[in-house]
Structure 1
Amino acid sequence: MSTPQPPMPQTAAPNWQAAPGPAHPTYTSPIPVVRTNLGHALASEWTKIRSVRSTMWTLGVFVLLVVGIGLAAAALVAANTDEGNVSDETALGFGFFGLLLGSICIITLGVLTTASEYGTGMIRTTMTACPSRGRVLTAKAIVFFAVAFVVTLASAVLVALADVAMVDAREPSGGEWLKGTVGVSVYIALLGLLSLVVGSIIRHSAGAITIMIGVLLAPLVIAMFMFSESLRGLQQALIEYSIPNQLSVFYTQSLTESGPTGWDPLWIMLGVTAAVFAGALALLEKRDV
C-alpha cells in the first residue's frame, strides 16, 4: 500500500495580473492603448516615402529633367528666333517637353510606393500594424499625391517664370498661368497616383512600370502605324486621348484640332484614376497579402 504524499505547499499569488477583465477590475495596463486612425497611417507612409533612396533619386531626376529641358528649350528658341516671331504665343509651352519625360519618373515612384512592399514582403508588416487595408492604400495615395503635386508645382512654376523672362513672347493670361502650373501639376500627380494603384493591383514593380509606360506612349506609337483609311477614326481617337496630347492641352498646344480642350484632360484622368482606385480597393480586401 503506497504512502500518501503530503500536500504541496501553497505559493503566494503574484502581485500582477496578465490581462484586464471582470476578475481584475483594478488592473491598469502600463502600455498606453490608442485607437489607430488615418493620421497614424499617414505618418507611417510619410516616414516610408521620405526614408527610402528611390524617392530622392526619382524626384531628383524628375526635377532635373523638367527644369533642364524646359530651360534649354526656351534658351534655344530665344537664341534662334527673331524678335516678334513668337509674339502670338506664350512661353509656358516650353515646359511641356520636360514634363513629358519627367512623368516617367513620377510613374516609377508611384509604382514603387506600393509594389516594392510586395516584393520585399514588408506589406505583411504594414497590414499587421494596420489591418484596415483600405486605410493603408488611402494613406499611401494621400501622401504620394501630396509629394508629387508639390514637387511638380515647384518645378513647373520655376520653369514657367524663367521661360517667360527668357523668351520675347506674349504675356500669359491668368487662366493660362493657372493651367500651366497648378493644372498640369494636378494632372501629373494624378498620373502618378494611377501608377500607384496599378502597382497595388499588379504587385510587381517591373510589370506595373512597363504597363504604365505603355499607357503613356503606346497610343501615339500605335497611331503612327495606322495607315489604312478604315482605321482613320481610331487613329484620330488614339492621338486625341493620348497622355502626351492631354498634357499639351494645358499649354493650349493640342496636337490635334479636336479632342479634349480646356480642363477636360484633368477630369478624364481624375475619372480613370478614381475607377481604378475603387477596383484596387475591392481586390485588396479579397486577396491575400
Structure 2
Amino acid sequence: MSTPQPPMPQAHSAPGWQPVPGGPYPGYTSPIPVVRTHLGHALTSEWTKIKSVRSTMWTLGVFVVLVVGIGLLAGATVSHSSSQMDDQNPLQLGFFGLLLGTICIITLGVLTTASEYGTGMIRTTMTACPSRGRVLAAKAIVFFALAFVITLAAASFVAMVQNSMVHGNGARTPTGSEWFKATVGVSLYLALLGLLSLLIGSILRHSAGAITIMIGVVLAPLVIALFMFSASLHKVREWLLEYSIPNQMSVFYANSLSNSGPSGWEPLWIMLGVTAAAGAGAYALLRGRDV
C-alpha cells in the first residue's frame, strides 16, 4: 500500500514557487542572488569583529599611551638634562616605550584567536566559513595590518617629536636609513611579534596561557642572561642576550645590547621565519582538531 503524498501548494498561495523538473515537489527560487564566498568576505567579517570588541580599543589605547607617553618623557628628560648625547642617534629614545608596548600587542594578538575559543564564538565562525585556513588567514591579515599601522603612527610621531626635543643636546641628525628602520622597520617587527602571539593563541586555545608564554618569550631570555655570572655559562649568556627580543628591537635603533649577534635587518628575518613556522603549525592543528 503506497504512502499518501502531502498535497502540493497552490501556485496562487505560494508566489515564487516553481516546479523542479523531474521532482515530485515544487522548488523555490530565491530572489536573493547566491554569491560564492571568498577571502574578502572573511576579511570583512574579521575586521568587523576586531573593531567591535572592547579589548581592541583598550589594548591599542594603552599601547599608544605607553609609546607616546614614555617616548615624550624620555625626550623631555634628555632635553632638560645637562649631559650631552655625544653625537648619538636621538631616535633610540623611542625604544623604551615600544618595549613596554609589546605587552599590549601580544595581548591583542592572543585575544584575536584564543578569546573565540573561550566564548564559543569559534563555532559560529567556522559554521559561517567552513574553510579553516581562510579564517586563520583573514585573522592574520587583519591583525597584522592593524598592528602595523598603529605602531607606525605612534613610532613616527614619537620619533619626530624626540628629534626636535633633543636637537640642541649634541644629538646628530638621523639619516634616511635610520629613520626608516626606527619607524617602518620596528613597526614590521612588532606586527610580526603580535602575529606570532595570534598563532600561539590559535595553537593553545587559551588566552591566559598564551599571553603568559609570549611575555615569557619576550622577557625571560634577557632576565635569565642578566643573572648568569658563571664563566662556564658565558656563551649561553651571550646567546641569550643577542637573540632576546629586546636586543633585536634595539638593533633597529643601532643601539644593540651586545657587540655581536643580529644586525641590520636580520631581526626582522628571524621573526619572520619563527612566525612562518608557527603559522604552519597553527594551520595543521586547526585542520586536524575539532572546534
Provide TM-score, normalisation by structure 2.
Answer: 0.92
Hey, what does 2:60 align to over in structure 1? 59
- What's the CA shift string for 1:14-44, capped at 9, x where partnerless? 4355996654898532332111100000000
- Tell me how far 1:242 sits from its aligned partner: 0.2
- 8 Å CA contact 2:192–2:272 kept in 1: the answer is yes
Task: Tell me the SS of whatever aligns to 1:178.
Answer: helix
1:180–1:12: structure 2 CA closer, same or farther, 3 Å change rule? closer
Rate the CA distance shift 1:286–1:12 in 2: closer, same or farther, 3 A. closer
Distance 2:43 2:101 in 1: 26
Q: Is the Cα–Cα contact under 8 Å of residues 18 and 28 in structure 2 kept in the other structure?
A: no
Out of 257, 271, 277, the position equivalent to 1:275 is 277
Distance 1:149 1:20, change over 3 A: farther
Moved more, 13-22 or 136-145: 13-22
Structure 2 residue 202 is the aligned partner of structure 1 residue 200:
yes
**Runs of 4+ deviating beyond 6 Å:** none
Task: Give 2:69's aligned residue.
Answer: 68
Shift of 1:223: 1.1
Q: Which amino acid aligns with 2:264?
A: G
214 and 20 in structure 1: CA distance in 2 versus 1, 3 angstrom threshold? farther
Map Cα deviations across residues 40-67 of structure 1 (whole Å, 9 max, x no partner): 0000000000000000000000000000
The 1:66/1:22 distance shift into structure 2, 3 A limit, reads farther
Q: Percent identity?
A: 71
Answer yes or no: is 1:49 the counterpart of 2:25. no
Of 220, 223, 244 in structure 2, the residue corresponding to residue 221 of structure 1 is 223
| Counterpart check, 1:114 vs 2:116 | no
> Are 1:175 and 2:187 an aligned pair?
no
1:31 maps to 32
User: Counterpart of 1:242?
Assistant: 244
**Closer, same or farther in 2 for the Cα pair 1:11/1:54, shift >3 Å?**
closer
Q: Confirm or deny: 8 A CA contact 1:219 1:242 kept in the other structure.
A: yes
Q: CA deviation at 1:175?
A: 0.3
1:125 corresponds to which residue?
Answer: 124
Give the equivalent residue in structure 1 for 2:103: 104
Equivalent pair of 2:113/2:202 in contact (CA under 8 Å): yes
Letter in 1 for 2:137: T
> Where does the alignment leave 5 or more consecutive residues of structure 1 unmatched?
1-7
Q: Deviations over 1:65-102 (max 9, x none)?
A: 000001101110111134xx224112100000000000
- 3-state secondary structure, aligned to 1:80: coil
Could you tell me whether the CA contact under 8 Å between 2:89 and 2:174 is conserved in 1? yes
Q: Secondary structure at the match of 2:88?
A: coil
2:238 partner amino acid: Q
Alignment of 1:257-268 (within 5 A): 257-268=259-270
Give, in angstroms, the shift of residue 13 of structure 1. 4.2
**Matched residue type, 2:74:** A
Letter of the aligned partner of 1:35 in structure 2? R
Q: Say whether the 8 Å CA contact 1:20–1:28 is kept in structure 2.
A: no
Q: Which amino acid aligns with 1:234?
A: V
Q: Which moved more, 1:109-118 or 1:229-238?
A: 229-238
Q: 1-side partners of 2:231 and 2:44: how far apart?
A: 55
- Distance of 2:258 and 2:55 partners within structure 1: 36
Mapped to 2, the partners of 1:113 and 1:185 lie a distance apart of 19
Q: Which moved more, 1:66-75 or 1:222-231?
A: 222-231
SS in 1 for 2:80: helix
Q: How many equivalent pairs are there?
A: 280
CA 1:95 to 1:41, structure 2 compared with 1: closer, same or farther past 3 Å? same
CA deviations on 1:119-155 (whole Å, 9 max, x unpaired) are 0000000000000000000000000000000000000
Alignment of 1:69-84 (within 5 A): 69-82=70-83
The residue type paired with residue 181 of structure 1 is T
Deviation at 1:229, TM superposition (A): 1.6
Per the TM alignment, residue 237 of structure 1 is displaced from its structure 2 partner at its CA by: 0.3
Structure 2 residue matching 1:35: 3-state secondary structure: coil
Residue 18 to residue 211, structure 1, CA distance change in 2 (3 Å): farther
Aligned-residue CA RMSD in angstroms?
Answer: 2.0
